[in-house]
Structure 1
Amino acid sequence: MASATVIKKLMEDITCPICLEPLTEPVSIDCEHIYCRVCIVGLIENQNSETSSLGTFHCPQCRKPFKSDSLRPNKKLATIIETFKEMDQNMCDEHGEKLALFCESDGQLICWHCEKTPRHKGHLTALVEDACRRYRKQLQEVVTKLEQREFKYMRQKLGTTRQKSILEEKIKHEKERIHLEFMNLHTFLHQEEETYMCQLEKEKEQKLSRLQNKVAHLDNKLQELRNRILELQQKNQGSAQYFLQDINDTLRRNSAIDRETPEAVSLEVHTVCNVSELYFSVGKILKRYQDNVTLDPDTATPDLCLSKDQRTVTNNVGTKKYQNPGGFFVLPCILGCERFISRRHYFEVDVREGTEWGVGVCLENVPRDIDTGREPQSGFWAIRLRRNKRNLAFTSPPTAIPLADQPKVVGIMLDCEAGLVSFYNATTGSHIFTFPKTSFSQALRPYFEAYPFSPLSLTSLNE
C-alpha cells in the first residue's frame, strides 16, 4: 500500500490546479506555481478581456501578480510526467503493483494480487512476457495474411486500372465508330438528296426546253396562219378572175395545215424517290438493340393461348381457362418475360394477320385486375390499331396516328436512359410515333393486346 500512497502523492504533484488533469506542456510563473500551458494562457486571455490593467495577471493559487511573458517551460517536469505516465500504465490502479500477468479469460493486464481475487479466480493467466511472445506471433501471422491480401488487392487495383484504360480506349474507338457511321449515314442521305434534286432539275430543264420549243413552233405556225388568212381575205375581196385563178391549189395548200399536230410534252414527273427505301440504315441501327423477347404465360388473360415456343399469342375467346393470380383479369393482355431497367432495347411484333392489336411497354406493377387507362400516367406506353383502321397512341387524350400504309411488322424501341419509347414500321424503317420524354420509376416489360382473329407473333433475332 505504500507504493499506492507514493503514486497518489505523485499524481497530486503533477496535476494542473486549473483542469485537474495531469500536466500537459507544464510552464512555471513568477510564483513558481506550475500549470498546463493551455490552461494558463486561457486564464490570461480571459483576465485580459475583463480588466483594463493589461500585462499583469494573478496566480489562481496564491493570487500573486505575474507577467504574461514570464511563462517558462518546465522541460524536466515534462520528462518526469511522461516517465510517470509510462510507469502508471504498468501499475495496478487498485493494488499499486506492477501488472505482471495477463488474464486470458478477461483479456486484461492484472497484478499478482488481482489473480487471487474472486473476480479472476479460476481464470487462465500467463506472464506478460509469455503472453506478449505468443500474441506477437499470432499478430505477425495476421499481419502476414493482411500483407498477402494487400499484395493481392494491389495486383487487383493494378489490373482494374489497366481495365479502366482498356475500357476507355474501347469506348473511344466505339464513339469514333458510331460517329463515323452517323457521318456516313448523313453523307449518304445528303448525297442521295443531291442526286434526286439534280435529276429533277435536269428533267425540269429538258421538259421546259421542249415546251419552250413547242411555244416557238406554235408562234411560227400562228404567224403562218395569220399570213395565209390575210392572203385569203385579200383573194376573196379581189375580182372574179383574180379569185378563181389557182383556186384549187390554194384550197389544197391551206387545208393541209390543219392536219399538222404539235408534239405532245408529258407533264408526268419521271424522277421518283421512295424515301422509305432509304431507311435501311435506320433498320440496321435498330437491329443492334434487338432482344429475343418471349411471352410470359403467367401474365396472360384466360382467353389467350401461347405457342410452344412462347412467341405467338392468339385470343380464343370463350375458351377461358384457369386465371393466373398474376395475370390480367379484364384486358386481353400478356407481358413479355424480359424486364428492362437500363440501356436500349428493341423488339418486333408481326401484326399482319390482325385487325385489332396493341403493342408497347409497361411498368412491372401496372394494375392487372381492373380495366385501367393505358396512358403513361398509368404506366403504359403503347399504340393500338382498331377495327376501323384508326391508329391510336395511348396518350391522354389519345393521339391519332395517320399512316399511309398499315404496318405488317411493328418495331418497338425503348431507351431507358433517355426516357423514350418509339414505334417503327419494321418493314420500311419509317417512324410511326414517339411518346414524350419521361423517366421510368421501375423495370419495364413488353406489353401486348391480342384480340380475336388477330394473332401476334414475336420475330426472332435472325429474322
Structure 2
Amino acid sequence: MAAPRNLLCEDQFLCSICLDVFTDPVSTPCGHNFCKTCITEHWNINDQYVCPMCKEAFSIRPDLKVNTFISEMVAQFRQSAQQKASSSSPEQQVSKPGEVPCDVCTGTKLKALKSCLVCLVSYCETHLEPHLTMSGLKRHQLIDPVENLEGRMCTKHDKPLELYCKTDQMFVCMLCSVLDHKTHEFVPLREEYEVKKAELGKTEAEIQQMIQRRQLKIQEVKQSVDLSKKNADREIAEGVQVFTSLMESVERGLNELIKTLEENQRIKQKQAEDSIKELEQEISELKKRSTEMDQLSLSEDHLYLLQSFPSLKDVPPTKDWTEVSVPPLSYEGTVVRAVAQLEETLSKEMKKLFDAELKRVQQYAVDVTLDADTANSELILSDDGKQVNHGDVKKNLPDNPQRCSRYINVLGKQSFDSSRFYFEVQVTGKTKWTLGVARESINRKEAIPLSPVEGYWTIWLRNGNEYKALASPPVRLSLKSQSEMVGVFVDYEEGLVSFYDVGSAALIYTFTGCSFTEKLFPFFCPCNNDGGKNSAPLIICPVNHSA
C-alpha cells in the first residue's frame, strides 16, 4: 500500500485565499480549510461571514480552531520537500555575500533563483519547484531574486502592494484601495510599470543621444586639436624655411662683407708693399752712390777724382714720389650698404609670407551686406547692400534700437559668434574712412570712443595718408602707399582681428588677445563727403582667391 502522502493531491495543501501552502490551517463549519490569518482578515473586511469557497453564510462568526490533521499533513509535506531539496541539485550554488539567499533552506543557505511577490519568499531551485508544478502556485508572480520582500507588503494591512495610487503617487494594497484611498485613481502595478518603463526608455534614449552628442563633441575637439597641430606643424615648417633662408642670407651677406673688406685690404696692402719695396731699392741705390762719392772725395789722386767725377756728379735717376701716396681705406657705409641689401632680401621674403598669409585668410571669405536698419540717416546705401557713402541730406527714418544715430556708421547684416571670417572693402578715392568689426551690444546712440573697451576693433584713415589702429591707446600706422582695398579677418576663438592691404598683400595691423563673448558684426564708416573730396563710396567686394 502506497504511503498516504502519495495519495494526496498537492493542491489540497494550498489556501484558496493566499494560494500558498497552509499556515495554521483552520476549518469552517462547511468543511473548507483556510489559513487562519487569511480567513480572519477576509471576514474582518466583509460585514457577512461567508465561506469563500461554497459561499455558505453563517449567522454568527464561527469559532475557528487549528485543524491538527491538516497541520500535520502540511508539516509532512514541508519536511518531504526539504528532504528532497537536501538530496537533489547538489550542484546548486551556496549563497555568497551580496547574493539573495533562499528563505526556505535551513542550515546552509543556497542561492535564490526566484522571488515570489505573492508569498514574499525567495526560493532556490529545489524549493521553487512547487511554484513551477502546482497549479495554484503557478499563478504567483515570480521575479528575479530580490532582498527585502517585506518592503513589498502594505505596512498597514500586511497585504502585497499590488496597486499604484495615481492620486497620491504611492503603492497600495487591495485593502487600501477600498478603505483609505476609495475615491482615488488606481492602476495595477504592471500598468504603471509599463508607463514608467516607457518613460525610462525615453529617458534612456535621451541619455544615449546626449552620450552620442558628447562623443561627437569629443571627436570634434580631437579633430580640432589635430587640425591645430597640422596648422602648427605647417607654420613651423614655413617658419623654419623662412628663418633658415634669412639666416643663410645674413650669413652670406656677412661672408661677402668680410670677403670684400679683406680683399680691399689685401689690395691696399699689396700696393703699400710694392711702394715700400721700390722706395727701399731707390734708397739702396742712393746709399751706394753716396758711399762712392764719399770715397772719391777722400782720394788724394787728382787725376782719378777728375776722371771719376763726371760719372758721379749727377744724382741717380729716381721716381718722383711727391704725388705718390697710399691713403688708408675708408669703410664708412660698407656695413650700411650690406644691411640695406639684407633688408631688401628680408622684404622679399616678407612679401612671400604675406602673400601666403593673405591667401590663407581669404579662404574664410563670407558674403557681407549692409544692414539698412542700422544705417545712420545721413548714409546712402546701394540697392544690393554692397556700397555706402555719405549724403548731404538727413533722411526721415525711424530711430529703431539698432540704428546708429550719433555717428554716420552702418553694420553688416551678418553676425558671427564662432570660427573665422574675412571680407574685403574697396576704399579707392577716399580721404577718410573707418573699418572693422563691432560687438552686438555697442552703444549706437551716444558719442563714445571707437575702442575695444567699448566693443569696437577698427582702423581708420584721415587726411588721405594718416592711418591709425583705434586700440587703447591708438597706434599710428605706416603704410608704404595708400591702400585701395582693405581686408578684414577675424578669428573668434583665437581672439584676433587683422587688417590687410590687399593690393600689396601686406599686414596693416592685428588686434590680439581679444575676448569675444557675443556676436560680432562687420562695421563701416564712410565718413562725411567733405564737400565732395570724400564722396567715393565704401564698396564690399567679392574676394578674388586667385589674386
Distance across 1 between alignment mates of 2:276 and 2:267: 14
1:306 matches 2:390: no
CA RMSD of aligned residues (A): 5.0
SS of residue paired to 1:339:
coil
Change (3 A) 1:297 1:240: farther
- For residue 390 of structure 2, what is the aligned residue in structure 1? 315
Please tell me whether the aligned partners of residues 154 and 173 of structure 2 are also in contact (alpha carbons under 8 angstroms).
no
Distance across 1 between alignment mates of 2:398 and 2:278: 91
Please tell me whether the aligned partners of residues 153 and 159 of structure 2 are also in contact (alpha carbons under 8 angstroms).
no
- For residue 84 of structure 1, what is the aligned residue in structure 2? 158
Change (3 A) 1:178 1:231: same
1:215 matches 2:289: no
Change (3 A) 1:80 1:455: closer
Query: Which piece of structure 1 moves more, 441-450 or 256-265?
Result: 256-265
Distance across 2 between alignment mates of 1:351 and 1:243: 91
Change (3 A) 1:422 1:232: farther
Alpha-carbon deviation of 1:246? Answer: 7.5
SS of residue paired to 1:177:
helix
SS of residue paired to 2:256:
helix
- For residue 195 of structure 1, what is the aligned residue in structure 2? 248
- For residue 357 of structure 1, what is the aligned residue in structure 2? 433
What amino acid sits opposite 2:370 in the alignment? Answer: L
Distance across 2 between alignment mates of 1:321 and 1:236: 110
The match for 1:290 among 365, 368, 378 is: 365
Distance across 2 between alignment mates of 1:379 and 1:162: 35
What amino acid sits opposite 1:395 in the alignment? Answer: A
TM-score, with structure 1 as normaliser? 0.60
Change (3 A) 1:311 1:163: same
- For residue 121 of structure 1, what is the aligned residue in structure 2? none
What amino acid sits opposite 2:350 in the alignment? Answer: S
Distance across 2 between alignment mates of 1:437 and 1:172: 20
Please tell me whether the aligned partners of residues 334 and 449 of structure 1 are also in contact (alpha carbons under 8 angstroms).
yes
What amino acid sits opposite 1:108 in the alignment? Answer: E
Alpha-carbon deviation of 1:358? Answer: 1.0
Change (3 A) 1:228 1:297: farther
- For residue 185 of structure 2, what is the aligned residue in structure 1? 108
Please tell me whether the aligned partners of residues 285 and 316 of structure 2 are also in contact (alpha carbons under 8 angstroms).
no
Change (3 A) 1:303 1:160: closer
SS of residue paired to 2:498:
strand
Please tell me whether the aligned partners of residues 214 and 263 of structure 1 are also in contact (alpha carbons under 8 angstroms).
no
Query: Which piece of structure 1 moves more, 386-395 or 398-407?
Result: 398-407
Please tell me whether the aligned partners of residues 417 and 520 of structure 2 are also in contact (alpha carbons under 8 angstroms).
yes
What amino acid sits opposite 2:462 in the alignment? Answer: R
Alpha-carbon deviation of 1:284? Answer: 3.3
Change (3 A) 1:450 1:203: same
Distance across 2 between alignment mates of 1:408 and 1:401: 16
1:328 matches 2:411: no
- For residue 390 of structure 1, what is the aligned residue in structure 2? 466
Please tell me whether the aligned partners of residues 300 and 324 of structure 1 are also in contact (alpha carbons under 8 angstroms).
no
Please tell me whether the aligned partners of residues 214 and 262 of structure 1 are also in contact (alpha carbons under 8 angstroms).
no
What amino acid sits opposite 1:460 in the alignment? Answer: P
Change (3 A) 1:147 1:409: same
What amino acid sits opposite 1:364 in the alignment? Answer: E
Alpha-carbon deviation of 1:293? Answer: 2.2
Distance across 2 between alignment mates of 1:175 and 1:380: 28
Alpha-carbon deviation of 1:348? Answer: 2.8
Distance across 1 between alignment mates of 2:544 and 2:507: 22
Change (3 A) 1:386 1:194: same
Alpha-carbon deviation of 1:235? Answer: 12
Distance across 1 between alignment mates of 2:383 and 2:153: 89
Distance across 2 between alignment mates of 1:80 and 1:206: 107
- For residue 510 of structure 2, what is the aligned residue in structure 1? 434
Structure 1: runs of 5 or more not aligned: 8-75, 100-105, 110-130
Alpha-carbon deviation of 1:155? Answer: 8.0
Distance across 2 between alignment mates of 1:81 and 1:397: 78
Alpha-carbon deviation of 1:160? Answer: 5.3
Structure 2: runs of 5 or more not aligned: 1-39, 46-149, 162-171, 294-308
What amino acid sits opposite 1:298 in the alignment? Answer: D
SS of residue paired to 2:243:
helix
Alpha-carbon deviation of 1:181? Answer: 1.0
What amino acid sits opposite 2:257 in the alignment? Answer: K
Alpha-carbon deviation of 1:449? Answer: 1.5
Please tell me whether the aligned partners of residues 330 and 369 of structure 1 are also in contact (alpha carbons under 8 angstroms).
yes
SS of residue paired to 1:368:
coil
Please tell me whether the aligned partners of residues 359 and 384 of structure 1 are also in contact (alpha carbons under 8 angstroms).
yes
Query: Which piece of structure 1 moves more, 217-226 or 296-305?
Result: 217-226
Change (3 A) 1:80 1:293: closer
SS of residue paired to 2:175:
coil
- Ranked by relative contact order (alpha carbons within 8 Å, sequence separation 6 or more), the top structure is 1
What amino acid sits opposite 1:302 in the alignment? Answer: S
1:211-237 deviation line (CA, Å, top 9, x unaligned): 122321332354267558868998999
Please tell me whether the aligned partners of residues 358 and 382 of structure 1 are also in contact (alpha carbons under 8 angstroms).
yes
Please tell me whether the aligned partners of residues 302 and 322 of structure 1 are also in contact (alpha carbons under 8 angstroms).
yes
Please tell me whether the aligned partners of residues 375 and 404 of structure 2 are also in contact (alpha carbons under 8 angstroms).
yes
Alpha-carbon deviation of 1:204? Answer: 1.3
Distance across 2 between alignment mates of 1:157 and 1:367: 39
Alpha-carbon deviation of 1:380? Answer: 1.7
Change (3 A) 1:170 1:373: closer
1:460 matches 2:460: no
Change (3 A) 1:357 1:173: same
Please tell me whether the aligned partners of residues 364 and 420 of structure 2 are also in contact (alpha carbons under 8 angstroms).
yes
Alpha-carbon deviation of 1:171? Answer: 3.8
1:348 matches 2:448: no
Distance across 1 between alignment mates of 2:273 and 2:360: 60
The match for 2:490 among 414, 425, 428 is: 414
- For residue 50 of structure 1, what is the aligned residue in structure 2? none
Distance across 1 between alignment mates of 2:221 and 2:470: 41
Change (3 A) 1:379 1:159: closer
1:202-259 deviation line (CA, Å, top 9, x unaligned): 3213312321223213323542675588689989999997575786xx5xx6499869
Alpha-carbon deviation of 1:286? Answer: 2.3
Distance across 1 between alignment mates of 2:289 and 2:368: 92
Correspondence list, 1:202-241, <5 A: 202-220=255-273, 222-223=275-276, 226-227=279-280
Change (3 A) 1:298 1:81: closer
Alpha-carbon deviation of 1:450? Answer: 0.5
TM-score, with structure 2 as normaliser? 0.52
1:390-442 deviation line (CA, Å, top 9, x unaligned): 32232344332344444443333323334333333344454433346343343
Please tell me whether the aligned partners of residues 4 and 95 of structure 1 are also in contact (alpha carbons under 8 angstroms).
no
- For residue 367 of structure 1, what is the aligned residue in structure 2? 443
- For residue 277 of structure 1, what is the aligned residue in structure 2? 351
